[in-house]
Amino acid sequence: MADHEPHPGELDITDELIAERRGDPYGRMPDDMPNWMARTIGLIDRFSLIIGQLVCWLTVPLFAAMVYEVVARYVFVAPTMWAYDVSRMLYGALFMLGAGYALSKGVHIRADFLYRLWPEKLQGRIDLVLYILLYFPGMLVFLYMATDYASLAWIRGEKGMDTAWMPHMGPIKTALPVGILLLIIQGISETLKSYYAATRGRWP
């Protein structure tokens, strides 16, 4: 994959192949992968896919709120107090709750201009070390902080103070620790894939 050189006129999708190593979360795992590992990866990837499919429906009320606001403001000269808050809350929830699915599809931003040139075994080793030493410790710290952040919003009955509508902030702040938890779950699958690549020299 990393050694493939495109012919003239051929689309170079090296970066996309690295980022999205497995386009189908229901696809077969390699025959030489241990059964427990294949089952774990498949279960987590399918879970992230289902969550992603559910979360994407948040775009419907998000678009509806924006369309309603535009029509009310410019056609009837009657702007709402709630459309701005609803839109940013739905967008924030969409961003956080879909983060685990995005990780499973490899669409998070990554600077792999050097990484993509390395052998797949080295790629797997680098990913494995970074997941263990940086990703999980960082995510666990963020989860602790975000849980405290959200729980305080519920306990205090916190309201948004930057608009006249003043919505309760507990629900949207809860999306933060939930999203981080989904990232941690998907990170387990990505770590197992990295281990396989590090030991077998190819990505599952």
Residue 11, token pair as written in the block:
């689309």
Mean pLDDT of 91-116: 88
Secondary structure (DSSP) of the chain: -TT--PPTT----HHHHHH-S-S-TTSPPPTTS-HHHHHHHHHHHHHHHHHHHHHGGGHHHHHHHHHHHHHHHHTSS---SSHHHHHHHHHHHHHHHTHHHHHHHT-S----TTGGGS-HHHHHHHHHHHIIIIIHHHHHHHHHHHHHHHHHHHHHT-B--SSSS--BSHHHHHHHHHHHHHHHHHHHHHHHHHHHHHHHSS--
149-181 per-position pLDDT tens digit = 999 999 999 998 888 889 999 999 999 999 999
Residue 204, token pair as written in the block:
């599952």
pLDDT tier, 67 (very low <50, low <70, confident <90, very high otherwise): very high
9-29 per-position pLDDT tens digit = 555 555 555 555 554 445 678
What pLDDT shows up at residue 106? Answer: 86
What are the angstrom distances between the C-alpha of 37 and each of 33, 44, 135? 7, 11, 20
What pLDDT shows up at residue 58? Answer: 95
Between the two ends of the chain, the Cα-to-Cα distance in Å is 12
What pLDDT shows up at residue 110? Answer: 75
Does residue 111 register a pLDDT over 50?
A: yes
Tell which wins on pLDDT, 4 or 109.
Answer: 109
Mean pLDDT of 78-107: 93
pTM for the model:
0.85
What pLDDT shows up at residue 28? Answer: 77
Please give the share of the chain, as a percent, with pLDDT higher than 70.
87
**Residue located via tokens 């306990």:** 155
What pLDDT shows up at residue 9? Answer: 55
